[in-house]
Structure 1
């Protein structure tokens, strides 16, 4: 057999998706892969029923149906406070996963460098390598997971083509402050660097923290490629509806990449989700309140058990410190946790460039009864440690 592509030697299969399979194998509560176990809003489900009968069921415009892009542009204009042309500034993708890959391939050439904050969502490094680029890592330092300005400047001095910014951050739930974002913006302008943002948790930010869209900062729209999806906002992770938002020149390139990667996102789902894009402020306020209560429920439970963690400012993940359990490493601990305790987590080492193996990631995007049962099972850690 001829030699296979060697670019895949740099990474393995998704650890997160692997943990879901292990959770299924042992019948564990899956707090690893970040999807809810509750239904999407009823208005969206009712719309889906109607679309199932009336369609559309054939290809839509490659870069997204007209009505979807128009409604998305209206929604994002309201929250981002910038002008968005649905014909020029948006590409609809198969989830934010494709949005990130499209963005990387649209701006990066083989041999380019891309700054990646560590810890990071695992796809970012894979996207960088698949694009033929080279990751340059900058540490986010606990407990606040802020960055060292001089370290970031040194990374920019390597003349990267882009920086990837996940805000709110997965896996630690960090929400970047305005001062942090303005510093990144100043370096991006100084070194003529693109900023590719992953903002899928844009509407899950806990007060008093505030989500600031990088593209809305002074002078940043033309060098920002904003990626997001509807998965987390409307609890429809399986629908795979994402998008790239940017200036016309960038989006024209993204359209080409997207066209030959996937042709287009699912036409019936683009139509079915329209009621969600028309929701008023009360929906987003209720969303934050719901997740804020789930966060409190889950963290209070972890406190009672005595587990140490970093309190998330946004998103729905919790990074838990397992140092006191004396585990050989986080991978074997997660296997034990899934098999013997009945709760699935993600080994923290899959998110770090640094040699870190004393963290696991849990999430709280579950029904209250699911979280309570998970906490009940985790109480066995208190006894066994």
Structure 2
């Protein structure tokens, strides 16, 4: 009798492009501007707070929804930032990173044969989570250089099967921001078509040149149909701690928590307490974050002015897109491999973020690095 062949639930998924390029950067000892993590350390105050809580024995399970101190501080942060008062016990859930929050949010909403609208280039965790829930992503491309959403195209894509829309602002990988008008438009579409919204806002505190992040939390009517995803890792330079949270109205939060308890029952207790203390006693870290990263963006942009790259406008996140069409006609993936192996700088191609890759010659650089790293990378890039 022949053995039954194992069938993958994600047979079209390979290792992520982030893993691929970071492995290549390590192999060739290249400057790694590919994977989006800070090169600098977590604030000393936060590290010391976590160590103190470990030594105090705060090392057992947290409540599944999150430590009460942290939930309270998140609600106060939301009040300060977005002028909305929420009952933390009914609307906020701490998760083991934003990726878990996104996965649980998608499982909360999506049923077999449901359709979910996403915008390419789209973060690579959306589609696998939708597929595992039995749904299907409907991809709407955003085009260079502005990467604006064509809302008429969105409206035309909505069918009886459409369950949700996923938005991401500030946007990874393009660094663009949704406007107030964008948010008003999506609110209208959501309510007129009985849809839900998942809003990926993990870079919410990193916007540049005085621009405002238009969170769903600024739009109370839209929030009634939404799950908002946030990340402490991005905010406090501690991506390895894997702490995030989901904010949603009580009905959606109840369902979210049912699933969350069977994915990661509770997240790292000392870190939750440390972040709660950081939010309470060192709030200026968040208010200074945009300026901190804007200086790094400007450092890289200024250092690349004499290069043959065309620099696209980074409005937020810690990513800069560059057009290499005057340097090479290789595909973006081939160019990133060549750049890493031959020139010692690792970048991320955009094609893996698309259902149907474009022919654009554009790659993503991460500037969450020390100034010397950015200048050394720019020096190599200016030689091309």
TM-score (norm 2): 0.95
For 1:72-87, what aligned pairs fall within 5 Å after superposition? 72-87=74-89
Aligned to 2:259: 257
**Conserved in 2, the CA contact under 8 Å of 1:89 and 1:247?**
yes
Distance 1:143 1:284 in 2: 29
Offset from partner CA, 1:12-70 (integer Å, 9 cap, x none): 22111221111111111111111111111121011122123113111111121111111
> Which residue in the other structure is 1:204 paired with?
206
CA RMSD of superposed structures (Å)? 1.6
Report the secondary structure of 2:88's partner residue. Answer: coil
Distance in 1 between residues matched to 2:341 and 2:160, nearest whole Å:
45
Partner of 1:303: helix, strand, or coil? coil
Identify the residue that residue 361 of structure 1 maps to in structure 2: 364
Residues 1:270 and 1:280: Cα distance change in structure 2 (over 3 Å): closer
Residues 308, 382 of structure 2: 8 Å contact kept: no
| Contact residue 96 and residue 244 of structure 2 kept, 8 A | yes
1:380: which partner in 2? Answer: 383
Distance 2:260 2:304 in 1: 42
Q: 1:344 offset after TM fit, Å?
A: 0.9
SS in structure 1 opposite 2:300?
helix
1:60-108 CA distances to partner (integer Å, 9 max, x unpaired)? Answer: 1112111111111111222122121121111111100000000000111
In the TM superposition, what is the alpha-carbon distance from 1:284 to its structure 2 partner? 2.8
- Post-superposition shift, 1:5? 4.0
Distance 1:171 1:279 in 2: 32
The residue aligned with 2:17 is: 15
For 1:150, the equivalent position in structure 2 comes to 152
Query: Residue 140 of structure 2: which of 130, 138, 145 is its match?
Result: 138
- State the TM-score, normalizing by the size of structure 1: 0.95
Count, aligned residues? 381
CA deviation vs aligned residue, 1:221-280 (integer Å, no higher than 9, x gap): 210100111111111111100111101111111111111112111112111222322256
Matches within 5 A, 1:301-312: 301-312=303-314
**Match among 107, 113, 116 for residue 115 of structure 2:** 113
Q: Cα–Cα, structure 1 residues 151 and 306, in superposed 2: closer, same or farther, change >3 Å?
A: same
Segment drifting more, 150-159 vs 341-350: 150-159
In terms of mean alpha carbon deviation, does 269-278 or 105-114 score higher? 269-278
Matches within 5 A, 1:41-120: 41-120=43-122
- Structure 1 CA distance, aligned partners of 2:178 and 2:112? 30
Q: Deviations over 1:198-218 (max 9, x none)?
A: 101100011232101113214
The answer to whether the aligner puts 1:333 opposite 2:332 as a matched pair is no
Specify every segment of 5 or more residues in structure 2 that has no aligned partner in the other structure, as ranges. none
Alpha-carbon offset, residue 174 of structure 1: 0.7
| C-alpha contact 1:43 1:275 (8 A) present in aligned 2 | no
Match of 1:182 in 2: 184
